[in-house]
Amino acid sequence: MAEVKQVTIWARGVTQDMEGRHLSLLVANSADKDGKFVQAWDDYADLPDRVGVPLRKYARISEEEIEMRYEYENKQPNVVIVMDDTIIKGMDILHGMPKGGVLVVNSKRSADDLLKFIPNKELLSSITVVDASGIAADVAVDFMGSEGGVEVAAVGKGISAPLAGAASKATGLLKLESVVAVAANKEGVKQGAEAAKVKKL
């Protein structure tokens, strides 16, 4: 059984539901493009969401078919991406992370500033900060894709694009050109990768 890489995304309810899901899709779709077996899905218990509640979106990437496709959560996330830095303060975002994990945060703050709020930061091998909200414009929220619906909006128009670019730089798990290929906002992906500051820990 090949190792399954687990990517967990934290977003805010309703306002970031779509972009959060799009980010999980960008991760999965770009890895799919590279010939990997993938899965992207919403946390079942977090939906239906309410405004501002912390939401989890997930992706899995594997060299072989993903056998435990039905596990509700990513219990051992290798990569955690946080779409709103205030979530860090309230949630144990690294819960279950095996040592050597990667954290990517959408923030205007510095990495050191953010690390102050992460009690279990020894699990991290790096923290990457990118001001994704400064790169991509806000996108109107639509609910078309929630609860198993088909996405109507093009995937990766808003902050999911620069965050996927930053995740590509931070993890080496995703090829930047593959992320660019599957995202609607291609410039946003590239800018996110360029602007992302990776700090090794």
Positions in the binding site for another protein (CB under 8 A): 1, 39-42, 44-45, 48, 65, 67-72, 144, 146-150, 152
The residue (of 30 and 107) whose beta carbon lies closer to another protein is 30
The angle that helices 160-171 and 17-33 make with each other, rounded to 10 degrees, is 50
Q: Least distance in Å: CB of 48 to another protein?
A: 7
Distance of CA 88 to the CA centre of its chain: 14
**Cβ distance 81 to 165 under 8 Å?**
no
Q: Least distance in Å: CB of 184 to another protein?
A: 16
Q: Least distance in Å: CB of 177 to another protein?
A: 21
The residue (of 22 and 169) whose beta carbon lies closer to another protein is 22
Q: Which amino acid is at 172?
A: G
**Cβ distance 8 to 56 under 8 Å?**
yes
DSSP at 154: P
Taking Cα atoms as reference points, which of 106, 65, 62, 80 lies closest to residue 8?
Answer: 80
- Please give the Cα distance from 181 to 177 (Å, whole number): 6
Q: Least distance in Å: CB of 165 to another protein?
A: 22
User: How many other C-beta atoms can be found within 10 angstroms of the C-beta atom of residue 114?
Assistant: 20
The residue (of 124 and 182) whose beta carbon lies closer to another protein is 182
The residue (of 14 and 195) whose beta carbon lies closer to another protein is 14
- Please give the Cα distance from 7 to 62 (Å, whole number): 11
The residue (of 34 and 147) whose beta carbon lies closer to another protein is 147
Q: Least distance in Å: CB of 44 to another protein?
A: 5
